[in-house]
Amino acid sequence: MATEQVAVPSGAAAAPQRLSLLRVLGPMHVWALGVGIVLVGEFMGWNFTVAKGGVFGGLVACWFSGILYSCVAMIDSEVSSTVASAGGQYAQAKHILGPLAAFNIALFIIFEYCMLAAGDSLVVGAIVNSLDATLSPTPFVVLAIAFLAWLNYRGVHTTLTFNFIITAIAFITIFVLIVGAEFWNPGAITQTKELFAQPPGSADPKMPYGWLGILAALQFGIWYYLGIEGTCQTAEECRSAPRALPVGTMSGLITLLVAATMTWYICTSLVNWITLGESVYPLYDAAVNTGKNWLKVVLWIGTVLSCLASANGCINDASRAWFAMGRDQFIPRWFGGVHPRYKTPYRAILFLVPIMIAFGYTGLLDQVITFSIISGCLIYFIMPLNMIRFRRLYPMDSIKRGYVSPFHPLPSYVLWLFVGLTFLAMYFGYWRNLVAALVFYGLCSIWFVLHRFKYVDRAKLYTMPWPRPRGY
């Protein structure tokens, strides 16, 4: 294996060689990728659930999305532990559902993460600008993406080790806020009782718009966990994918469930529900309300680091999906190039950088993030189909799994139900975005079927040594 990966310049006499991505990642890196992408959602975005559904609406959305993503993580862990290939859900769908589904899933992944990276960098620019009005956000947007792209280009191990460090620091800042707010002494700094009480003549902060408000809150509950499914993009770079992916993904999900619940508690205990529902940086605003300046600094650092960790993971994931599509010639084969020294998908990384910068340049944070969420939900809608067909084609005795999803097919049906409800909630608020996204992906599918698929070498499309599927 080692000799296969030593590349030599053209012209030099050498035996046939093959480049491949480096297999250096463990569960820690998978955790860093999953939690790193998502944690930014605790620092901003989730609080719109409170604007729609009140403080209880925020909690219901938190746990509702927690169940949704638990299903995602269970399905993902089982299937990806057997498909240790770059591209994650793309590679899974290619083997289980077919090329068109795989092409669409790859597009969903790429747009989900490119848009999210652009959104993260936009927030970094805005935070810097909030420090000093003479600091323009644009150069900081460009620098953030350029630096993280450079890191990704230079090697996956350093990239995800860096992500582990900054994600862990950002996660700890939430703990620091809870301890700094003296959670053990209600009423001293936290004002849960007062903030949850209904003022005379005003709406009830707990559920101001009733169950309809809670339904509307569901679409923003996605922010708590959006992107955790990206862990399986590293499958080809794990030392032992059947072990690292389930351990990293599940521990990441547990981390996020804890972080989400803590975030909801501390923010609703420190910030009035109306202010919280409109806040850009809810955790930072909660720190401001403690009256402790050092906590403001800590949470400012946490917010910036969470944005960088998210953008870093997004570049990693989007480039793997683009690389995998190139390798299968769903897009030009050129994009399937591997750097001979760093063993990274360098062409895919370079290609996506200007796209991310361009989206970041628009400054349209809400539109960018909405498209990212819609793309993510479309992935979740196809995943149950993937799982059910996977179990049917490859029963338990045919392929050894690194993780077996319990209660199958219940998680698949629950995921369908919950994603359906989320789409319904999204339709009420963003039906134009939803229709535009579906039209866009539909046109891309037509292009793929009528034009691109004839260039795909089908003999090279399926090279994994899986057994013949049942019934074939």
Partner 1 sequence: MEWLNYVVWAIGILILVWLVIDAFRIETTYDHDLLVSSVEGEIEKEILDHGHPTTPPEGGN
- CB-hemisphere CA count at 13 Å for 63? 7
Q: Which of 276, 262, 280 is nearest to 126 (CA)?
A: 280
Nearer to partner 1, 211 or 334 (CB): 334
CA dihedral 293, 297, 302, 305 (to 10 degrees): 170
Say how far apart CA 201 and CA 198 lie, in whole Å: 8
Distances 96 to 384, 387, 407, 466, 468 between C-alpha atoms, Å: 12, 9, 20, 11, 12
Q: Minimum CB separation from partner 1 for residue 82, in Å? A: 8
Which residue number, 24 or 176, has a Cβ lying nearer to partner 1? 24
Nearer to partner 1 (CB atom), residue 9 or residue 199: 9
409 burial (CB, 10 Å; 0-12 / 13-18 / 19+) is middle
Are 425 and 219 contacting, i.e. CB atoms less than 8 angstroms apart?
yes
Nearer to partner 1, 108 or 335 (CB): 335
> From CA 418, how far away is CA 450, in angstroms rounded?
34
Closer to partner 1 by CB, 159 or 303: give it: 159
Cβ closest to partner 1, residue 1 vs residue 450? 1
Residue 124 or 168: which CB sits closer to partner 1? 124
Work out how close the CB of 402 gets to partner 1 at its nearest, in angstroms, rounded to a whole number: 10
Residue with tokens 């795989």: 102
CB of 283 to partner 1, least distance (A): 26
Polymer length of the chain: 472
Q: How far is the CB of 469 from partner 1 (least distance, A)?
A: 15
- Provide, rounded to whole angstroms, the least separation between the CB of residue 391 and partner 1: 19
- Nearest distance from C-beta of residue 158 to partner 1, angstroms: 5
CA dist., res. 107 & res. 444, Å (int): 9
Q: CB 236 → partner 1: shortest distance, Å?
A: 6
Considering the complex, what minimum distance in angstroms separates the CB of residue 148 from partner 1? 10
Chain contacts with partner 1 (rule: CB under 8 A): 1-2, 5-7, 9-10, 17-24, 82-86, 91, 132, 134-136, 139-140, 142-143, 146-147, 149-150, 153-158, 236, 239-242, 324, 326-328, 333-334, 336-344, 346-347, 350, 353, 460, 463-466
**31: Cβ contacts below 8 Å, ≥ 6 apart:** 164, 248, 251, 252, 255
**Contacts of residue 318, Cβ cutoff 8 Å, sequence gap at least 6:** 109, 110, 113, 114, 117, 348, 352, 356
Sign of torsion over alpha carbons 347, 350, 354, 355: positive
Closest approach of Cβ 168 to partner 1, in Å?
A: 20
The answer to whether 350 and 148 are in contact (CB under 8 A) is: no
Nearer CB in complex with partner 1: 50/353: 353
* In the complex, minimum distance from the CB of residue 401 to partner 1, in angstroms, rounded to a whole number: 12
Please spell the DSSP secondary structure of 236-248, one letter per residue.
GGBTTHHHHHHHH
Minimum CB separation of residue 8 from partner 1 in Å reads 8
Q: Phi, psi at residue 238, to the nearest 5°?
A: -85, 145
Report d(CA 419, CA 220) in Å as an integer.
Answer: 12
Q: Which is nearer to partner 1, 285 or 317 (CB)?
A: 317
- For 54, the token pair is 């009140």
Residue number, 68 or 128, with CB nearest to partner 1: 128
Cβ distance to partner 1 smaller for residue 351 or 380: 351
Assign 3-class secondary structure to 417-452: HHHHHHHHHHHHHHHHHHHHHHHHHHHHHHHHHHCH
